[in-house]
Amino acid sequence: MPTTHIDKQRNAEEVTFDLVTKRYSILSLAAQALGGNRGWRPVWRDASPAEGYDIIVVGGGGHGLATAYYLARMHGIRRVAVIEKGWIGGGNAGRNTTIIRSNYLLPGNVPFYEWSMKLWEGLEQELNYNAMVSQRGVLNLFHSDGQRDSYARRGNEMRLQGVESDLLDRDAVRRQAPFLDFDTERFPIVGGLYQARGGTARHDAVNWGYARAASALGVDIIQNCELTGFLRDTAGAVVGVETTRGPIRAGKVGMAVAGNSSRVAAMAGLRLPIESHVLQAFVSEGLKPIIPGVITFGAGHFYISQSDKGGLVFGGDIDGYNSYASRGNMPVVEGVCEGGMALMPMIGRARLLRSWGGVMDMSMDGSPIIDTTPLSGLYLNAGWCYGGFKATPASGWCFAHLLATGRSHDTATGFRLDRFRSGHLIDEKGAGAQPNLH
């Protein structure tokens, strides 16, 4: 293929970017501090689209960027573009509650999320970027004998698959979180299932770290480039994308667009077994350290942690109606606050600083999809429900493996698109997109 003006511009951008992309270290940070912090440069190259790539990843969130990074690093495929309709970190990546964990029950999910946890544990060193991974522990409370038995089963299954877990009694929970309401007659705290390796990470920093690392390996990250359609050949195979910045051809196209999966798939004539719902989250004013890790309420859907800035970060159920709006409704606000008050009445004294809504692509069995599609050349990463952020590293790893080899990764073999037709569901929550069952 002859060298074009765009290729020459891209090469010049790469040279300039390589000159300013340095590994962060204590020495480089000290040098910047002594220089008044005037020497910082953009951490990834804001690329212009080329005429064609080996692979295009649609969606510049955590999953899309991680996919591009692992394609370049693990499979040596560097003619890769990530197209994002807005800016990096401006979608669901900045609209979640940052929890990471692998305390799942079913065989289809446990190996995948445990692999994700292992990737989280080495992520900052691998990317040379501070993603604020904090393994402070995840504590799932239970409030009855039946719930205790259920969590005991979950913990045993985790251990059988090599994932550590601890079943705590009431006194052990009290030592961790003495501020909880243990003695309420309606929701007495009996104990909890604890995963010490779980915790939180900084959502947008994860995106920035993957973007920086992928760009340094030659991946084009193209912002403000909205997908408007797919290029098809005479046999109907997908051979590229139509965008607001012109057509871009590719050998393969991967979709990783979270809550917009149905809309993007519809452009290719596909109907997916998912629904889009709004999931609200909230953060309080900054407070002194009080929440030791992540705590979930077993008698209602409420979960809470504390950010590095001191804000209490919490959330609950999806809003219960289909929507693409990044906002929520008042009944869910009331329900989440009621759950918080039932669990820890002291939260009523905190001022609510802000709230937001992320658009979740809820699958019918509550588990994700990483698979080919009926259209040759088009691949799908979708249906993450509540679990998208914690899955980011493994999702990118497995989707990159699928795009590079055409085969499912060993930890994602259950995430097939046709399982909804064949009946091989991974019914982790027993809920899927039905809000009345959440």
Q: Cα–Cα distance between 158 and 165 in angstroms, integer?
A: 7
Quote the pLDDT of residue 431.
Answer: 60
- Identify the H or E element spanning 420: helix 419-422
Q: In the 8-state DSSP scheme, what is residue 341? A: H
Q: Between vectors from CA 407 to CA 401 and to CA 412, what angle results, nearest 5°?
A: 70
Contacts of 232 (CB under 8 A, 6+ apart): 238, 239
Separation in Å, CA 184 to CA 180, 304, 341: 10, 19, 11
Residue 367 CB: number of other CB atoms within 10 A? 24
Q: Cα–Cα distance between 58 and 405 in angstroms, integer?
A: 19
Residue 393 backbone dihedrals phi, psi, to 5 degrees: -65, -45
Contacts of 249 (CB under 8 A, 6+ apart): 51, 52, 53, 231, 239, 240
Quote the pLDDT of residue 21.
Answer: 54
User: And the tokens for 49?
Assistant: 């689209």
pTM: 0.92
Percent helix, percent strand, percent coil in the chain, to nearest 5: 35, 25, 40
pLDDT digit string (tens) for the chain, length 438 residues:
444 444 444 444 444 344 345 788 899 889 989 999 988 888 999 999 999 999 999 999 999 999 999 999 999 999 999 999 999 988 888 788 899 999 999 988 999 999 999 999 999 999 999 999 999 999 999 999 999 999 999 999 999 999 999 999 999 999 999 999 998 878 999 999 999 999 999 999 999 999 999 999 999 999 999 999 999 999 999 999 999 999 999 999 999 999 999 999 999 999 999 999 999 999 999 999 999 999 999 998 899 999 999 999 999 988 888 888 877 888 899 999 999 999 999 999 999 999 988 898 999 898 999 999 999 999 999 999 988 999 999 999 999 999 999 999 999 999 999 999 998 888 876 566 665 555
